[in-house]
Structures are given as C-alpha cells and as structure tokens.
Structure 1
Amino acid sequence: MNSANLQLGIEAEQWTAAELATLGPEWTVLHSRSIPGTNVDVDHVVIGPPGVVLVDSKYRHGSLDYLGSWSAPWDHVGAEDTSGHNQDSRWELNNRDASFLAYASVFEAACIDDLLAMPPGRLTTSVVLAVHGATMNTASGTMKVTTDDDHTAEVHVVVGSHVTNYLCSLPALGKSAAFLSDLAVVVDYLLPPKLEHGIGMLPRSSPASIS
C-alpha cells in the first residue's frame, strides 16, 4: 500500500470515528484495537443494544453498487462459473465482485467471537463496512460472504456518513443496560488498544456519496 492510499485509509477511520462519536450513552465505542495472537487490528468495535459490532472503515475510488443476488446469464446456467463472481455476493466495485472487501473484517469478527467464547457455527459479532470515497447506489445493504469454515456471514455495507443511523436501526438484543456495560468492559479488556497512528483530529465530513 502506497503512502497516499495509507493516508486515505487513516482519514476514512477518522471520518467513521467522528460519526460514531455521535452515538448515545447506551453505546460504547472502541477504536484501533488489536486482536491478541494475530498481527491484525480492528478499526472500531461498538457495543450497544445490538450487541458487539465490528465497524471497518473502507476508502475506495469509483463506484460500489448493490446488485441483489447475482445470477449467471442464461447461456452459463449449469456450466462451470469462470466469471470470477462469488454467487453469494450482492455488490460490485467498479464492475467487479466486491466480496473481497469483507474477508478481513469477517475474519476479525470470528476472532472476536472466539475471544468471547461464542458457540461455533455462526458469526455472532456483527460486521459493518463503513465506505468512504466511492459513489454508492444505495445508502446501505447486505453482502453474503462465505467464511473459511464454509459458514455464510451477512455483512452490512453502509455509506460512511450514515453509519450511526444504521447502527441504531439494527435489531436490539433486549439486554439490560447493566449487561451491555459489563459486555463493553469485557471487550475492552480482551481487545487492547493498538495506537500506531491514533484517531487524531477528526474531519467534520466524509466525501462519501449516494448516486
């Protein structure tokens, strides 16, 4: 990754952090957290009424389009798919399958599940991709991603400037404020801070847009 792209990635994290700062007191927001035993770090982890949510900031150029469930053209039905499409993907980045955007995030969410001793077989930690830069044809949508252990994870793809409203729209677990507060303490302990660049000064707005 060149220095320009690295800087854009840092700015995307800052824009997302600025949005998350507007969440109410029932939410706990953690930034730049490391996952013990790995060399990866998580942009943002949010604990609130929907439970634990991993929010990954993405800066991309061009267009990111929601297409619905992809299906092969009639002349390819029944034939081996050599198009490069993931049939669980519902998004394209500049006319190419965009499911790769979520792979690292799903892995990180699975690691958080392991740390929280969640039962195997499904992803309990929700994943939200906060997208900046790219023009999107919808404010939000879901992406189906197949994990390494062949389970299907549903990833939420959201325009970065809409991430707070989207989080507030997610179904609540129905847990008490005390439970969520205790859960936040546990997650804070399990995921220590990783401050390579920090959040720093927060720009007021993101250049994300909806076409």
Structure 2
Amino acid sequence: MTSTQPETSTLAARAAAASVITECLRAQMSAPPRSAAARIFGRTPLSAESEPWFLGALGELDVARRLEALGPAWRVFHSVPVGRGSSDIDHVVIGPPGVFTINTKHHEGRDIWLGSKRLLVNGQRTDHLRNASFEAKRASQRLSVAAHALVDVAPVIVIVGARRITVRERPATIFVLRERELVRWLCTLPAVVPPDAIEQLADAAARPSTWHDAPSLEPADVAAFDRLRREVDGARTRRRGWAIAALLAIFAALPFAALAAWASVMSALA
C-alpha cells in the first residue's frame, strides 16, 4: 500500500482514525470488483469484512472534526496505539479539566439504552462500558509512568449517529455523550490542570513509547480512504436515485391503473 503521509515519530501528527482506516483498506483489498451493472444500480463497493472498519472510521473522523473546535489550551491525540498488540485509543484529550480517553461508537440510526452498568444497542448487550473503563485505567497507568506522577484519566464514550438514546441511569464513572454534545461538555468542566502541567502531560502523551511496548506508527493512506468514501457515497446516491425513480413510476401508473379498474367494474355491471 502506498502511503500519502510521511513517517512520524510523535503522536501529535497522527491522522485521526489511522488504525481503522488501515484495517479497512486491508480488508477492502480482497473485495471483488463490482460489475458494470452493480455500479449502475449503486451496489456498495464495501465488502462484508471492510464495512465495519469503514463505519468505525467515519465515527472517529466525525469526532476528530468536532474536537478541532477546542481552544489552544487543549491537546488532542488520535488513534493512539496502546499495549502490546493492535489495540488503540480512538482519542486522548488533555486540557484544563484533565485527561480523557474517548471511545467512539458509530451506531447510525440505532436506538441506545443506557443504564448504570449496561449499554444496549437495539436491545443487544454491548461491552462498551467495560471496555471504556479498562481503556481509561490502562491509559492512566501508562501516562502516570511516563509523567512520573499520578494521572487520573476519565473514560468517555461518544455515540455517533444514534436515532435515540434512552437514559435509565448514568454510569457513575463513565461519561456517555452524543457526538454533538462532546465539545460543549468538555468546555463546561471546571479547570483543575494548570497550563504548564498540560504541556508536560502532552509531551508525555506524544511519545509512542508511553503507550505501546513496541510502537510502530504505520501511516494511514488517507487519500485511498477518501477515494473509497467517495465511491460509497456515489453508490448510495445512485441507490436513492433508483428508489425515487421507482416511486415516481408507481405514482405515475396509479391513475391509469385506477382508470382501468373503474372501466373493468363498469363493464362488469353493464
């Protein structure tokens, strides 16, 4: 795969959704090419394997774009490799209110139910709360070692695209928000970290070795992902166009069908 970004030795320049973009493109490489008819009728170019990665990338990119609205007092890191394997943290945010790990979940058009210890998606149990808590604890351990001081990290789950979120009871230590609430919520939290401490934490957070035992920052081919995204959007537009055309054809045929039925009834009564 040809990269469009230079190698970096710091996480400060790492592209948002880098890990999931890379996995999406790897999975997409095995997808068979669409036929001419499939292209005309708007079949998605995504394979069953690449689609979950694609949707995950869209969610992370959406949240990253929103985080750009934070002021200069904040530091944001994306797609942070952590641990020993291929796991990563979607976003690490450091600012006056403290340090946050943000786990993005793209659940477009789905219903979310939130309790103190459970988060359901269309009625199905998830591990979102447990995973977010573990992620923040691991981030706290790693960042504390690098900063030579105890660093508390708050876990945040950001739900992207949900149709409805029903809150029965909020978890005690995990914050669950819609994507549009995130920046406003962060900015309303009380400031507890002085500017010099923010810079020290950001310096530690920017080092890949802070987070991963054997860090390797594989740059994402963002240009290839953008091309794939345009293909997906184009296919969706064509499908919608065909659906609208079909509806118009049905409505156009209705008067003639009604007239034919009326003529048939009158003929039978004659």
- Please state which band the TM-score falls in when normalised by the shorter chain: 0.5 to 0.7
Per the alignment, in what secondary structure is the counterpart of residue 9 of structure 1?
Answer: helix
Structure 2 equivalent of residue 39 of structure 1 = 86
Q: Which residue of structure 2 lines up, in the alignment, with residue 14 of structure 1?
A: 61
Alignment-derived partner of residue 160 in structure 1: 179
Structure 2 counterpart of 1:53, one-letter code? F
Rg larger in structure: 2
CA contact (8 A) 2:112 2:166 kept: no
Q: 2:112 aligns with which of 32, 54, 64?
A: 64
The residue aligned with 1:180 is 198
Q: Distance in 2 between matches of 1:11 and 1:42?
A: 15
**In structure 1, what residue type is equivalent to 2:202?**
A
Give the corresponding residue for 2:96: 49
Pick the aligned partner of 2:131 from 82, 89, 104.
Answer: 104
What is the Cα deviation at residue 196 of structure 1?
Answer: 5.6
How many corresponding residue pairs? 166
- State the one-letter code of the partner of 1:110: K
Amino acid at match of 2:123: N
Aligned partner of residue 171 in structure 1, secondary structure = coil
1:139-150 paired onto structure 2 within 5 Å: 142-144=170-172
Q: Which segments of 5 or more consecutive residues in structure 1 lack a partner in the other structure?
A: 70-87, 145-153, 204-211
Identify which of 118, 123, 136 aligns with 2:164.
136
Report the alpha carbon displacement of residue 107 of structure 1 after superposing the two structures with TM: 1.8
**C-alpha separation in 1, matches of 2:203 and 2:75:** 9
TM-score (normalizing by structure 1)? 0.67
CA distance in 2, matches of 1:106, 1:117: 16
Distance 1:33 1:45 in 2: 8
Q: In percent, how many aligned pairs have the same letter?
A: 27
Which whole-Å CA distance do the structure 1 matches of 2:95 and 2:137 have between them?
19
**Contact 1:12–1:58 (Cα < 8 Å) also in 2:** yes
1:108-166 Cα distance to aligned partner (Å, 9 max, x none) = 21111111337xxxx92111111112223369x8425xxxxxxxxx1111111221111
- SS of residue matched to 1:172: coil
Given candidates 116, 138, 154, the residue that maps to 2:143 is 116
Residues 38 and 111 (structure 1), Cα distance of their counterparts in 2 relative to 1, 3 Å cut: farther
Instruction: Indicate the RMSD between aligned Cα atoms, in angstroms.
Output: 2.8
The alpha carbon displacement at 1:177 in A equals: 0.8
Change (3 A) 1:184 1:193: farther
- Higher helix share goes to which structure? 2
* Cα distance in structure 2, aligned partners of 1:199 and 1:107: 29
| TM-score when normalising by structure 2 | 0.54
Unpaired runs of at least 5, structure 2 = 1-47, 146-150, 230-270
Q: Does 1:94 align with 2:122?
A: yes
Work out whether residues 135 and 155 of structure 2, in 8 Å CA contact, stay in contact via their aligned partners in 1.
no
